[in-house]
Structures are given as C-alpha cells and as structure tokens.
Copies of this chain bind each other. A is one copy, B any other.
Amino acid sequence: MEKSTKDKILDVALELFSQKGYKGTSIRMISGKVGIRESAIYNHFKNKEDILDTIVSSLASSSLSLLISQKPINEFALKGKSFLREFAASFKLLSYDNKSEKFFRFMMIELMQSKKIREIFFNDFHKSHLKILSQAFFIMMQEGMIHSSDPMLMAQEFLSPLFFYRMQATILRIDKENSSQVATLFEKHIDFFWEMISTG
C-alpha cells in the first residue's frame, strides 16, 4: 500500500510545522520534501491554511482522554495509585508517539500566537484531563483513600509536573540530548505525590 500524495503532504507538513511553526514553513519546502512542485499542492488542498486545518482536526482531541473516558471513572479511581500510574504512563507514552510528539511541539510554538491553538490547548487538552483527574480524586477522597482537599486543586497540582516533564523531555530530544533523567521523573512524580496524599 503506497501512501497517497495527500497523506505524504500531511506527514511532511506536520514534520515541518513542528520544527519551524506555521509561518516558518513554506509551501515550497513542503512540496520539495514530498517531491512535487508547489502548484501540485493546490490539487489536494485549497491553500496553506487548509493543510493546517486538516492536521489540527485529525490530531486535536487528545488520545489520552479518549483512552480513559471509555469506561465510567469509578472503576479507574478505585485503583488509587495504580490509576495515577496508568494516567502518567499514558501521558509519558504520548511524548514517544511520533505524531503526538510533533503535534505537541507545534502546539507549543503556536500557543502564544494563535487563538485557535490556545482554545484547543485549554478545551481538548487541559480541561479534559483536569476533569478526569478531579473526578478521580473526589472519589478517592470519598473512599478515604487520600486526604481531603480541593479535588480540582489536587488535579492541577498532579497534572502540572506531568506537563512540565513532558515539555522538558521534548526539548531535550530536539537537540538529541539524553532525556532519560527526565523520563524517570514521571514515575518519581507518582511515588512522591501518592506518598503525600494517601492516608495509608
């Protein structure tokens, strides 16, 4: 199965967008890497923005929240520390998934420049994670598994390091520097956090 030209364009565009941002990537560069002329791009996409929109709408909704929100949250929350471990593992895995990683890099570049990306970041990315986590912490509190506190604050406090460690790992890997030390922080975060909140 050969990849269609359209898919090749999308792959190359995501690659370049994640390295140089939207404005820093030219139709010329995309077509050159795909192996066609600039004008041939316009047989597949209306214009440059159309390429971007296609990529964004296919990658915007976080695969993490989809993964978890399949079943009712109770089943997960009652697993306590294991739930947090699984959540963090999914989060960490995303930074090793090729497309997710590239989209994350692109999102970071555009976050301060594009309102559309900011909305995706908050709605699809951030809020959906906070919702799952705060619900889970609420249940854990009810069950007496963890100390009582504001579940939403706890969710923020739990999620922030995961985001920051992912960002650090991404940055280090750009320069092909060793990111294994940062990678261990994901697991250490779980141990540290659980140690602090658990009633055990």
**Contact between B112 and A108, CB atoms less than 8 A apart:** yes
Within 8 A of B (CB), among A3-22: 18-21
- Closest approach, in angstroms, between the C-beta of A68 and any C-beta of chain B? 20
Residues of B within 8 A of A170 (CB): 112
CA distance A104 to B18 in the complex (A): 20
Query: Does chain B have a CB within 8 A of A105?
Result: yes
A104 (CB) vs chain B CBs: closest residue: B112
Whether A171 contacts B121 in the complex (CB less than 8 A), given A149-B192, A153-B192, comes out as: yes
Stretch from A35-43, A89-97, A158-166 forming part of the interface with B: A158-166
CA distance A19 to B112 in the complex (A): 7
What are the 7 A-B residue pairs with the smallest beta carbon separation, nearest first? A160-B161, A196-B196, A160-B164, A105-B112, A160-B160, A23-B24, A109-B112
Q: How many copies make up the complex?
A: 2
Q: Size range of the interface on A? A: 35 or more
**Contact between A157 and B161, CB atoms less than 8 A apart:** yes
A115 (CB) vs chain B CBs: closest residue: B175
Residues of B within 8 A of A112 (CB): 18-19, 105, 108-109, 170-171, 174
Q: List 20 A-B contacts (CB under 8 A).
A: A21-B21, A21-B109, A21-B113, A24-B24, A108-B111, A108-B112, A109-B109, A115-B174, A118-B175, A122-B171, A154-B192, A156-B165, A157-B192, A160-B161, A160-B163, A160-B164, A160-B165, A163-B164, A164-B164, A196-B197
A158 (CB) vs chain B CBs: closest residue: B161
Query: Does chain B have a CB within 8 A of A188?
Result: yes
